Amino acid sequence: MTAATTVGLTGITKKYHGTTALDAIDLSFEPGITGLLGPNGAGKTTLLRIIATVLSPDAGKVRLLGRTPATPDELAQVRRRLGYQPQEMGFPRAFTGFGFVDYMAVLKEWTARAARHDEVRRVLDLVDLGDVATKRVRNLSGGQRRRIALAQAMLGDPDLMLLDEPTTGVDPEQRVSLRQVLSRAGERSTVLLSTHQTEDVAALCDRVVVLDQGRVRFDGAVRDLVATAAGRVWMADAPDPAARASWRTGTGSHRNVGETAPPGAELAEPTLEDAYLLLLGDRALTTEVAA
Partner 1 sequence: MTTLVQHTETPDPAATHRTLRTLAGVEARRYARHPLFLTGVALMVWAMVGMAQGLASGTGDAQLLLVSDGTTVPAFFLGVLGVLVGHRLTRSMARSSEAVEASPADGVTRTAALCLACLVPGLAAVVWLAWNYVAMAIWPGPYSAAISSTNHAAMLSAGVVYAMGGPLVGVMVGRWTRFPGAGLVAAVVLVGWSLLGTFGLLMSASRVGTLVHLNAPFTTWVSSDSPAAASWVAGGSPGWYLIYVTLLCGVAASAAMLHEAWGAQRSRLVRVWAVLVGLALLALALAAASDPTRILLPRG
Residues in the chain: 291
- Please say which residue, 17 or 93, places its beta carbon nearer to partner 1: 93
Tell me the closest approach of the beta carbon of residue 204 to partner 1, in angstroms.
Answer: 22
Other beta carbons within 10 angstroms of residue 41's beta carbon come to 16
- Please say which residue, 29 or 276, places its beta carbon nearer to partner 1: 29
Question: What is d(CA 28, CA 6) in angstroms, rounded to the nearest whole number?
Answer: 8
Other beta carbons within 10 angstroms of residue 86's beta carbon come to 17
**What mask, x for binding partner 1 by CB under 8 A, covers residues 63 to 92?**
x-xxx---xxx-xxx-xx-x-xxx-xxxxx
Which of 19, 59, 61, 282 lies at the binding interface for partner 1 (CB under 8 A)? Answer: 61
Q: Which residues pair with 160 in a beta bridge?
A: 82, 190
Question: What is d(CA 83, CA 192) in angstroms, rounded to the nearest whole number?
Answer: 10
Q: Does 169 bind partner 1 (CB under 8 A)?
A: no
Q: Does 107 bind partner 1 (CB under 8 A)?
A: yes
Q: Residue 177: CA atoms inside 13 Å, Cβ hemisphere, count?
A: 15
Question: What is d(CA 135, CA 242) in angstroms, rounded to the nearest whole number?
Answer: 53
- Please say which residue, 22 or 265, places its beta carbon nearer to partner 1: 22
**What mask, x for binding partner 1 by CB under 8 A, covers residues 15 to 54?**
----------------------------------x--xxx
Question: What is d(CA 211, CA 218) in angstroms, rounded to the nearest whole number?
Answer: 7
Interface positions with partner 1 (CB under 8 A): 1-6, 8, 10, 49, 52-54, 61, 63, 65-67, 71-73, 75-77, 79-80, 82, 84-86, 88-94, 100, 102-104, 106-109, 111, 149, 152-153
